[in-house]
Amino acid sequence: MRTSDEIKRQFDIIAKEYDSGRRHFIPCYDDYYVRSVSILKNILPDINTVADLGAGSGLLTEQMYLLYPEAEFTLIDLSDQMLGIARKRFDGLSNFDYIVGDYSKCLSRKYDCICSALSIHHLENDEKQKLYDHIFSSLAAGGCFITLDQFCADAPDIDNAYNDWWSNYIDNSGITEDEKAKWLERKKLDREVSVAFTLAMLRKAGFRQVECVYEFMKFATIIAVKE
């Protein structure tokens, strides 16, 4: 079983180059990070508090900030190196706090919105369920959880096709051999589940309104609303 120390180590290694490589690894970047997130404004017109779990360099937080510039943001990540990039991104803004630590243990208040991007798929299934339970209890009534993550298909043959397509896309994206090697090392941390399995876990946590609002092969955006 991987430890949080190993996850931290892998992302410390690639912190400085993380942002520049995102489009090499995410073929649907704009639809994923920008357009799918924008639906939140139609669900929650106003938000006062946001927590970003596994916030890393702040890519998702930036999109949330563009939607809700007056909100208070808390960015949580194991890697201080990754959060260092986020601090530079939001330098001069007073409505941002940063916590270096395990986000499953750092939600100590109620939030209007909790978000996460490409992080939860590193957790074991029992850890995922405990996290979703914790997220539900940490949301204010009417609050929303949005997760952009990496998933497997339910059908093995289709999942293999997804992986082959994705690997071919990355090979032809212009990345270096060193970047490819680091990606393959990070992939060892992956513990993917399907979108359907994730929706079931969120319902088990107590969410009654859950929906996959965007999906492209291995990448999907799921929203869960706490009534």
Smallest Cα–Cα separation from 32: which of 226, 212, 225? Answer: 212
User: At which residue do the structure tokens 């979703």 appear?
Assistant: 132
Instruction: Grade residue 54 by pLDDT with cuts at 50, 70 and 90.
Output: very high
The model scores a pTM over 0.85: yes
d(C-alpha 167, C-alpha 49), whole Å: 37
Q: Tens digits of per-residue pLDDT, 75-110?
A: 999 999 889 999 999 999 999 999 999 999 989 899
Q: Tens digits of per-residue pLDDT, 5-53?
A: 654 554 444 444 555 567 888 999 999 999 999 999 999 999 999 999 9
pLDDT of residue 162: 97
Beta bridge partners, 215, equal 220
Beta-sheet pairing, 209-216 with 111-117: unpaired
Report CA torsion sign: 220, 67, 23, 114: negative
pLDDT of residue 9: 53
pLDDT of residue 197: 98
What are the distances in angstroms from CA 73 to CA 1, 26, 39, 203?
32, 25, 19, 26
Return the CATH number of 4-25+35-141+176-192, one of 3.40.190.10, 3.30.1280.10, 3.40.50.150, 3.40.228.10: 3.40.50.150
Q: Tens digits of per-residue pLDDT, 156-206?
A: 999 999 999 999 999 998 888 888 888 788 888 899 999 999 999 999 999
| pLDDT > 90? residue 207 | yes
What are the distances in angstroms from CA 25 to CA 41, 51, 165, 196, 207?
27, 25, 12, 23, 31
Name the residue ranges covered by the structural domains of the chain: 4-25+35-141+176-192
Burial of 118 (0-12, 13-18, 19+ CB in 10 A): buried
